[in-house]
């Protein structure tokens, strides 16, 4: 079974993002970029399926600017067998990405697609579910455990108030939550090896997908700042303030 | 045109998140209808009919809707979509699971986790873990929206008298099955809707040490939460997590104990009315958002606080 792992290049999670003065977006020039952390968990999970003899081939896919090739090299260094870059300078929104991924799925015929539940830049949490819809496949979002057997995936999901387990037919889409696994560190020999692994390049037009954005960003602003309050010297003062000033207890 | 709100419910009762979503739907203009898709969900539908501002409740009752499998519920919503200009669901685990599937089937770009409605086609939503707010305008014929519940006050749960109508239930897609659920049993309120939250961080040191927060939570009738650091360290389960990757909360009182205040945690709680921070590091970023901070050892201060509350 082939496993397809879509990965997104995002501003590194350690970077404190700054809103541009002209309110057109956030500053991304000269900012460290990395693989979306939830996608890293997805690549790790795919590798574990390969090591368990369930996946035969792990294919990483990324959609976006040429530099997404670097993110794909990271996926290859973690262990993916080959990569596909769908290259475009267009502003890609989740529906367009899902359409591009659907086109790739139709070419590659994976048994499973694993990707992050959300990207830490636009925080949309849509792509996996949309891809499942476009392919007519079942979905298991926010996965914390995945077991593949008898042509089905049993997935434990992180839901409000606890966990839920579902069983879905393959092929299927799984999106990862934080506790699914802890991604391995990439080693230098594997980074060297990754440079020799194959990477295909496509354009959205080759895949027959219209990626025109549906949402227009009118402005991007800083959230209202919460000002720091006071430090109280002792618990007695704290309780007094909560009772008589804030009136919350 | 009208708006359709996908109700969050457990068949027997309606979840509070539905009320906030109704408020957002009202702001989009037009009539507000609520879809209750479930199994033996008459009680939830009756509750939905009481919500102020709702003009019609549509009930799709079938065994394969019992556990809100995305494949089945999305197909139901799509079958009813023609009559609506806006389709909204709360940005809960359930809403986030189902609605993008609906959006893709309708060839619409969903607008996730809105916190304000500027116009029927223009919405504000946080990006980058709440470090920026984007105002976006949709060119799609239908607006498919998830609603961050902390961004909208809940509609009144009573006072309405909507008509309840049964709609034809779509069939079981047959590609997914519900196996089971492990719901943490707790006497305490649910984190997402709690008025007071007591939250612990890495500073708690261990899962065992979280026990010292329990009497405090009990005394205040509070829900218990945690930072991602505490969850990652294995102290407490993930569904306690407050933050961008966990739950977004906005209680009246948020007490952060041993939480340094990483950006991703602040994104999940900075809209709380009053924030109290207890931390031994006077430079901890949590103090920059706290209304009342107290510097010291939590293992001394928490028992003192419990005693002082009497």
pLDDT for res B192: 83
Which residue in B has a C-alpha nearest to residue A14's C-alpha? B263
- Residue A172 is assigned to a structural domain of this protein: yes
pLDDT in tens, B102-130: 999 999 999 999 999 999 999 999 999 88
The answer, for A29 touching chain B at a CB cutoff of 8 Å, is: no
Cβ–Cβ of B136/A163 closer than 8 Å?
A: no
Pick from B138, B192, B305: CB nearest A215: B138
| Cα distance between residue B166 and residue B168, in whole Å | 7
State the Cα–Cα distance between residues B49 and B58, nearest whole angstrom: 9
Beta carbons within 10 angstroms of residue A201's beta carbon: 12
> How far, in Å, CA of B108 to CA of B101, rounded?
10
Hey, is the C-beta of A173 within 8 angstroms of any chain B C-beta? no
Question: What pLDDT shows up at residue A110?
Answer: 98
Domain that holds residue A142: 2-244
- Distances in Å between the Cα of A223 and the Cα atoms of A220, B114, B152, B278 are 9, 14, 16, 25
* Backbone phi and psi for residue A59, each to the nearest 5 degrees, phi listed first: -115, 120
B305·A239 Cβ contact <8 A:
yes
Q: Is this prediction's ipTM beyond 0.90?
A: yes
> A95–B110: do the CB atoms touch at under 8 Å?
yes
DSSP state of B131: T
Q: Strands A152-159 and A33-35: what pairing?
A: unpaired
Each residue's pLDDT tens digit, A52-79: 999 999 999 999 999 999 999 999 999 9
| A19-23, A193-197, B75-79, B267-271: segment of lowest average pLDDT | B267-271
**Quick check: is A52 in a domain?**
yes
**Token pair in block for residue B194:** 């709690």
Instruction: Tell me how crowded residue B163 is: count the other CB atoms within 10 A of its CB.
Output: 11
d(CA A25, CA B101): 27
Q: Per the domain annotation, does A150 fall within a domain?
A: yes
Cα B107–A202–B103 angle (5° rounding)? 10
With 0-12 / 13-18 / 19 or more C-beta atoms within 10 angstroms meaning exposed / middle / buried, residue B171 is: exposed
pLDDT tens digits for range B281-296: 999 999 999 999 999 9
- In B, which residues are within 8 Å of A215 by CB distance? 109, 111, 136-139
Residue A227 located in a structural domain: yes
pLDDT in tens, B231-248: 989 999 888 999 987 889
Over range A20-48, report the average pLDDT: 96
CA-based nearest distance A210→chain B, Å:
12
Tell me whether A210 touches chain B (CB under 8 Å).
no
Q: How many domains does chain A have?
A: 1
The enclosing H or E element of A6 equals strand A2-6
Which residue reads 């519900």 in tokens?
A: B178
What would the pLDDT profile of A87-144 be if each residue is shown by its tens digit?
Answer: 999 999 999 999 999 999 999 999 999 999 999 999 999 999 999 999 999 999 999 9
Looking up residue A180, the CATH number of its domain turns out to be 3.40.50.620
The answer to whether residue A56 is domain-embedded is yes
Q: Convert the pLDDT of each residue in B125-184 to its tens digit.
A: 999 988 999 999 999 999 999 999 999 999 999 999 999 999 999 999 999 999 999 987
pLDDT at B15: 95
Nearest-CA distance A107 → chain B (Å): 20
pLDDT the model gives residue B184: 74
pLDDT in tens, A170-204: 999 999 998 899 999 999 999 999 999 999 999 99
* Beta bridge mates, A117: none
**DSSP H stretches of helix in chain A:** 37-51, 68-78, 94-108, 127-135, 188-194, 235-244
Residue A34 lies in a domain: yes
A-chain residues near B96 (CB < 8 A): 125, 141
**Residue B280 distance to chain A (closest CA, Å):** 12
Give the distance, in angstroms, between the CA of residue B34 and the centroid of all CA atoms in the same chain. 17
Q: Is residue A61 part of a domain?
A: yes
CA distance B9 to chain A (A): 12
Question: Is A249 inside any structural domain?
Answer: no
Mapping DSSP to helix (H, G, I), strand (E, B) and coil, where does residue B226 land?
A: strand
Size of interface A-B (CB pairs under 8 A): 250
Dump pLDDT digits (tens) for B196-236: 999 999 999 999 999 999 999 999 999 999 999 999 899 99
Question: Residues B245-254: what's their mean pLDDT?
Answer: 92
A139 bridge partner residues: A173
pLDDT at residue B164 in the model:
98
The angle that helices A37-51 and A68-78 make with each other, rounded to 10 degrees, is: 30
> Mean pLDDT over all residues of chain A?
96
Contacts of A228 in chain B (CB under 8 A): 287-290, 293
Contact in structure between B254 and B248 (CB atoms under 8 Å): no
Task: Report pTM.
Answer: 0.93
């Amino acid at each position: 079974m082939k496993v397809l792992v879509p990965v997104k290049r995002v501003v590194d999670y350690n970077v404190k993002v700054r809103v541009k003065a002209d309110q057109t977006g956030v500053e991304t020039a000269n900012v460290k970029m990395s693989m979306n952390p939830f996608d890293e968990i997805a690549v790790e999970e795919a590798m574990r399926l390969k090591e368990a003899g369930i996946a035969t081939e792990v294919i990483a896919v990324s959609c976006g600017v040429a530099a997404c090739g670097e993110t794909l090299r990271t996926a290859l260094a973690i262990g993916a067998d080959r990569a596909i870059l769908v290259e475009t300078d267009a502003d890609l929104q989740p529906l367009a990405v899902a359409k591009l991924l659907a086109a790739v799925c139709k070419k590659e015929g994976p048994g499973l697609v694993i990707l992050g539940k959300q990207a830490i830049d636009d925080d949309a949490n849509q792509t996996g579910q949309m891809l499942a819809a476009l392919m007519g496949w079942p979905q298991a979002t926010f996965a914390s455990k995945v077991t593949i057997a008898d042509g089905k995936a049993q997935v434990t999901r992180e839901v409000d108030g606890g966990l839920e387990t579902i069983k879905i037919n393959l092929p299927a889409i799984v999106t990862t939550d934080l506790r699914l696994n802890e991604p391995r560190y990439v080693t230098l020999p594997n980074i060297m090896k990754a440079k020799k692994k194959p990477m295909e390049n496509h354009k959205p037009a080759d895949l027959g997908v219209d990626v025109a954005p549906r949402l227009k960003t009118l402005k991007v602003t800083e959230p209202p700042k919460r000002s720091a309050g006071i430090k109280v010297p002792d618990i007695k003062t704290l309780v007094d303030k909560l009772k008589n000033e804030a009136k919350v207890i | 045109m009208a708006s359709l709100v996908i109700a969050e419910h457990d068949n027997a009762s309606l979840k509070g998140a539905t009320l906030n979503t109704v408020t957002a739907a009202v702001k989009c203009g037009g009539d507000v209808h609520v879809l209750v898709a479930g199994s033996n969900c008459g009680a939830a539908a009756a509750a939905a009919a009481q919500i102020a501002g709702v003009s019609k409740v549509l009930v799709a009752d079938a065994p394969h809707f019992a556990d809100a499998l995305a494949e089945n519920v999305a197909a139901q919503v799509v079958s009813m979509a023609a009559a609506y200009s806006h389709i909204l669901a709360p940005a809960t685990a359930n809403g986030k699971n189902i609605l993008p599937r609906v959006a893709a089937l309708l060839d619409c770009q969903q607008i996730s986790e809105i916190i304000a409605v500027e116009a029927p086609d223009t919405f504000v939503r946080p990006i980058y873990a709440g470090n920026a707010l984007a105002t976006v305008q949709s060119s799609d014929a239908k607006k498919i929206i998830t609603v961050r519940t902390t961004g909208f006050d809940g509609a009144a749960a009573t006072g309405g008298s909507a008509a309840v109508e049964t709609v034809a239930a779509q069939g079981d897609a047959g590609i997914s099955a519900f196996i089971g659920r492990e719901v943490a049993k707790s006497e305490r309120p649910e984190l997402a809707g709690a008025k007071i939250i007591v939250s612990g961080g890495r500073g708690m040191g261990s899962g065992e040490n979280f026990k010292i927060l329990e009497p405090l939570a009990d005394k205040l009738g509070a829900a218990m939460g945690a930072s991602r650091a505490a969850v990652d360290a294995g102290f407490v389960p993930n569904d306690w997590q407050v933050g961008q990757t966990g739950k977004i909360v906005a209680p009246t009182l948020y007490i952060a104990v041993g939480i340094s205040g990483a950006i991703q945690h602040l994104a999940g709680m900075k809209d709380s009315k009053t924030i109290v921070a207890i931390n031994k590091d006077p430079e901890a970023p949590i103090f920059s958002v706290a209304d009342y901070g107290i510097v010291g050892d939590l293992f001394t201060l928490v028992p003192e606080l419990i005693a002082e509350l009497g």
